[in-house]
Structure 1
């Protein structure tokens, strides 16, 4: 058996001629690399298969991979409902209508809030100790084109190499360690966890098991020890197994030792007892041990070469759909941490293209069919009290994660969010009844794996955000627009219908007879009235009304597309026509954030709520609604989002997308420059107040796509906001609404040609600058347009 493995290993080296020269080749446009191991978590390289993630440190003396399972959370299902809470609503609404907003806010905080969400937990640290920590020719690289991390170095005359990936088809993390000299690989393997655990060694594998806390306080509540309780909390198991080696394996206590090997393949599998959002993971949980055994059983007979091929074939089927070239200069050959340090005002155009593709890599790695959706940190977390519980924050952050998913040609990666939405309707219907005495369903500011929708604790400023669920519904509609999948739309129509039904019951008249949300907040912003009074409780915040207007529009369109109840549509239309409109301040000329002409308490707050209709919807458009677009541009000029205290991190995603929607190309680049200058960790992840927050990565990914292609407003717009720094380039495989796929080529800032394909076929206006060309694409056909077609 050992001879067979060694022959296979030698064949692998022969077939991979880059084995010894990986440390000398320059970075390609689809990779980034370091010349040293990670010294902290935000220098490690992320890997993931949607469910199982890892952060690869690439140490010389010790490899450390910190893993996560996307279902591993503190807590258990709990009933947060407070039946009859709606009895306080009449008084709260009356106070707001009378301008007694502060008193209304006090009642909201006293009666309508609940406890905090639970927290996403770290899983297992894989530790592979190899002795000497000195080496030469070190290189640690992420190849985005294959989804592979490679570490190579030279030590004592021997070339060492590691290849590491997280496989979706085989649900395992694979670690291949090899040397070009026999008997040079010596490793002590361990598994550790920050969670209470037990580790045993059996023959060729380590087994770690443990149990999550019953409760973990959010990090912003200060340092608190996790609360463990017997009979409560999710169980987990992880197994590290040696699968291929010509060395000697020894078992010692809670360690495995490998001696005198030429190569070894480690495989890591893990599982939790999570059995759904409504099942107690301890009493009704899945058998995590049997799940791990099943994963290992599925790996029988598969050597590294086959695991590698299955992973690459699966991953490239997604990643390879889009290619992009924005130009290159000498900085592209530098280590990524140095590229980030050197970056100044668009000096490294290839970094923008790399960042776009890195965003796509993160989505593929953290959101696959059957997994949980990407949370605030995707699937990666090393803390018992992660930032903001690493939950799904529904007043923008969870949604920003999915802004690029359709245009970046990763529609399948959108599906985990759809699962969350459907699951949220269960508790959401109870919240609608108990908090608002309304039909339908509603979700507020936060949600965790247990899918509770009651407002969280702390302050109504964020907690009473009653359009979280309605914003999620925008993603249902977007997925339909990009895929033209009527079966999907029919499946999720009840979610749209019941979300709409909630607002049919819940909207209230304002003092002008328009229908508005009451109580409401505006994106965690405080206002200042003309009389100097400050507060947050209000009615009819502009963002609320934009989201509800879009929800009503899409629900009515779905009724027609699917042949649903026209009487229901008529009722929606009646209420739709009474919704409070967007307003332009007669004082400032800006688009108002509140139903009344109030001012933001912090005039430079990055969270510019009233821009929702430009970046998440299509209610504000430079040609369809030019007056609103001009008013919002004045708002952006005054507020300067992306320039606040957080240096354009996830807030820069809004700013860059605002400028892209306004078709002001170099202003988009200005925000991207600031993001790269000030908001990146060395591993290219987004730094928000010292923590990785993945919506910064993914929101800027969406803004880069919007520079090149937009499809709001019933047309495809080619290069609508192309910054001058990308004078020549191309992008292939972006998606447009209507089910179209688009390639674009340009030179000297001018379009050369665009190719538009469609599986389903259809008619679509195509815009380039101020010219529009109507085209018809046959099913499974394509149309090529050149610059002369727009003359």
Structure 2
């Protein structure tokens, strides 16, 4: 691969946070600005949340649920919503936010003038931010990375002139500075608390220099005339450690006992063990002006040129790998999951509290975890689910009178499961836990690890399914539906003009329930347990509303064919059954697939896709429909309109799900694996005429490599981890633009019987025969 397509580089320092470059170890994060006379390293630690755990449940919540349901069935929407707002919502109404840890600032002395030959880059192959420039006749170089191995952020500064580095370093958290103290002559630390009952934290900075001197002066560290200096930064809180200060000192002692080269090598080796599993090469269709490849330009200029209409396949490959880098850097075993901003947040009052939104956003963060070969990065989600189950059992019992566990539209550091907020189109939605439970099922489907299914996934699925079973009620058509609920975050209008948010049986709820019940039934069959519970699920499954087609020819968003208030709404919840669900798929139920397409086109015709994460979801829909040209058009639109100069996603403002959703969408364009089939190049756009991808994962425990030339499959290798048979499909080039039914375009499928541990190489000719390939 062109290595320049695995680097984000720039000709100037970052002038604002959205231009800085991220590093992270999952638990620790930082944004590196690359300043000349003054450097800012904005710091994060994943458990720095304001406030502590609290009992916020409304004392009246369990008493009025039946009355609210009755009002909804009577069509008295305003009365139902008024009562629900007063009796179901928590007190207090909102979470405390995820916050910045603070800033490390470096003030350089003894140099002046304009910097020459400036280059700032993030090397995705090493997970290191690098900086080079000349000033005052000295060549300066810096490296910054966050080590998961040693739990430290490392900043290394070099000069090519002995004694060329003089600076002072300061640690602060304006306007919430903690107590700043010194530990010896080379270390400063800051301690404090994140609000009443919140976590106590400590962050420490230690400087180690070659040549010159290091000493503490006031609350600064001063480095004078050093040849090089290495800063070690770490942080801890009482969320994990009884004494964060002692933990920080322990980490610094371990890290500084190693040579810098050893810490760097350990970091690169650990990081590459994840990042190096997948490669993507997309050949450029053409060179740009002056016969230069697009990768010859810095990332911000490449973005601008893409927006001007230049082609840049390499930028899309870069964006794909950048998403994988961000997931590795913000979600590792033992850390908290990536929140709305991953682990990177400069604010003390961030948008939406930078929490965990469960009505699409946290789920989208982890869509690339399995398909893009980062399964370990998924583990923090299961840890959070385990804590949510504890709280969610109490919420289910006290609010709904139900068994199992529930979570609503958002949660936080403390795995809160109550109905938080006042935004009625979003908050009274009881399916957050059910959707999240499906992530445990997906982790099993990709790995086929029966121990994980038995010990972790199935208990989560069962409790989520128990709750949904208990809250389902019969509607006037004797279908089992949820009530009260919402179609996240949309509103509808009744024929008489009354506007509602609370509703009975939104389509997304029925589709999630379908996926949850089916997954639980499949797990019961595989594990040979709980057959009586499985029978209850099968009976309920038969009574769930099926996806229905409405008056505009698209799928209905609610159980009734209401008029929606915002036809171009950013949420497209009623297409859950298309993605990430599998209930609707071309070749299996084409009428519903066509209706899903009409729904999608209607959303877009009315301005849909205006947020980064929504655009990423749209790419998935077009990919599942196998309409390659539209998938590509919206991928380009994502890069044109919904990323910042540092390629971080833009809601607006910054929200990281566009990055993770975009990465997953590109994988979905190249490989799909659902309904017991593997589809090669299902939505390959014409402009990606030649390329190769290696290391993508498919459900059923397979790793898949694919190469193509001139828009045609060249070869594919499927590495099997278990014995199984599977239908392998390939979408011909002339069918990708329209999404037409493959079954009407000639036989392009084969049945592959695989043995675990074996690899199978397929070529285009294999799909021209009625094949049973063994």
Q: 2:408 aligns with which of 444, 449, 452?
A: 444
The structure 1 residue matched to 2:676, chosen from 695, 711, 714, is 714
- Aligned residue for 2:771? none
Q: In structure 1, how many angstroms separate the alpha carbons of the residues matched to 2:310 and 2:526?
A: 45
Q: Of residues 213, 227, 231 in structure 2, which corresponds to 1:262?
A: 227
Contact 2:22 2:32 in 1 (8 A): yes
Q: Distance in 2 between matches of 1:160 and 1:147?
A: 20
Shift of 1:615: 1.2
How much does 1:185 deviate?
1.1
| Separation in 1, partners of 2:493, 2:61 | 29
Structure 2 residue 130 is the aligned partner of structure 1 residue 153: no
**What residue number does 1:539 align with?**
504
The alignment partner of 1:237 has SS state of strand
1:459 aligns to 2:423 (yes or no): yes
Normalised TM-score (structure 2)? 0.93
CA shift digits 1:492-533 (9 cap, x unpaired): 222111111112211001110110000110011001223332
Name the residue aligned to 1:577. Answer: 542
1:725 and 1:147 map into 2 onto residues whose CA distance is 29
RMSD: 1.5
Does the 8 Å contact 1:624/1:713 carry over to 2?
no
1:530 matched residue in structure 2: 495
Number of aligned residue pairs: give it: 738
Structure 2 CA distance for aligned equivalents of residues 246 and 620 of structure 1: 66
What is residue 435 of structure 1 aligned with on the other side?
399
2:613 and 2:658 in contact (8 A); partners too: yes
Query: Which residue of 217, 241, 257 maps to 2:206?
Result: 241
Deviation at 1:156, TM superposition (A): 2.0
> What residue is the counterpart of 1:107 in the other structure?
83
Shift of 1:67: 0.7
Q: Which residue of 1 aligns with 2:745?
A: none
Conserved 8 A contact 1:84-1:434: no
Q: Check if 1:779 corresponds to 2:756.
A: yes
Which residue in 1 is equivalent to 2:738? none
1:666 maps to which of 613, 629, 646: 629
Q: Which runs of 4+ in 1 moved over 4 A?
A: none
Aligned partner of 1:488 among 452, 465, 468: 452
Deviation at 1:86, TM superposition (A): 2.3
Q: Counterpart of 1:86 in 2: which secondary structure?
A: coil
Deviations for 1:258-301, whole angstroms, at most 9, x for unmatched residues? 111111111111111114xxxxxxxxx62101111221232243
> What is the CA–CA distance in structure 2 between the aligned matches of 1:312 and 1:204, rounded to whole Å?
30
Alpha-carbon spacing, 1:117–1:59, altered in 2? closer, same or farther (3 Å): same
In structure 2, which of residues 237, 255, 272 is the aligned counterpart of residue 299 of structure 1? 255
CA-to-aligned-CA distance 1:730-768 (integer Å, 9 cap, x gap): 100000000100001011111100010022242221101
Match runs of 1:117-156 below 5 Å: 117-131=95-109, 132=112, 134-156=114-136
Q: Which of the numbers 260, 265, 278 marks the counterpart of 1:309?
A: 265
Residues 368-383 of structure 1 mapped to structure 2, 5 A cutoff: 368-383=332-347
In the alignment, which residue of structure 2 is the partner of 1:413?
Answer: 377
Is 1:347 aligned with 2:327?
A: no
Is 2:149 the partner of 1:169? yes
Per-residue deviation at 1:605? 1.2
Taking the aligned partners of 2:317 and 2:251, their CA distance within structure 1 comes to 36
1:88 aligns with 2:64: yes
Whether contact under 8 Å (2:15, 2:33) holds in the other structure is yes
SS, match of residue 153 in structure 2:
strand
Could you tell me how far 1:27 is from its partner in structure 2?
6.6
CA distance in 2, matches of 1:189, 1:460: 47
Segments of structure 1 that go 5 or more residues without pairing to the other structure are 1-25, 215-228, 276-284
User: Structure 2: which 5+ residue stretches go unaligned?
Assistant: 288-292, 732-741, 743-747, 769-774
The residue aligned with 1:212 is 193
Alpha-carbon offset, residue 467 of structure 1: 0.3
Which residue in the other structure is 2:666 paired with? 704
For 1:269 and 1:305, locate their aligned partners in 2 and report how far apart those are by CA, in whole Å.
18
Q: CA deviation at 1:667?
A: 0.3
Of 563, 566, 588, the match for 1:624: 588
Could you tell me how far apart the structure 2 residues matched to 1:73 and 1:714 are? Answer: 42
**Structure 1's 370 and 564: CA in aligned 2 closer, same or farther, altered over 3 A?**
same
Distance 1:652 1:119 in 2: 26
- Residues 188 and 220 in structure 2, CA contact (< 8 A), matched pair in contact too: no
Report how far residue 395 of structure 1 moved: 0.6
Moved more, 740-749 or 521-530: 521-530
Determine the C-alpha separation between the residues in 2 that align with 1:616 and 1:490. Answer: 23
Per the TM alignment, residue 120 of structure 1 is displaced from its structure 2 partner at its CA by: 0.4
Report if the CA contact (8 A) 2:6-2:125 is conserved.
yes
CA separation in 2, counterparts of 1:463 and 1:740? 38
Name the CA shift for 1:133/1:651 in 2 (closer, same or farther; >3 Å).
farther
- How far apart are 1:312 and its partner, in Å? 0.3
CA contact (8 A) 2:194 2:200 kept: no
For normalisation by structure 1, the TM-score amounts to 0.91
Contact 2:72 2:503 (C-alpha < 8 Å) held by counterparts: yes
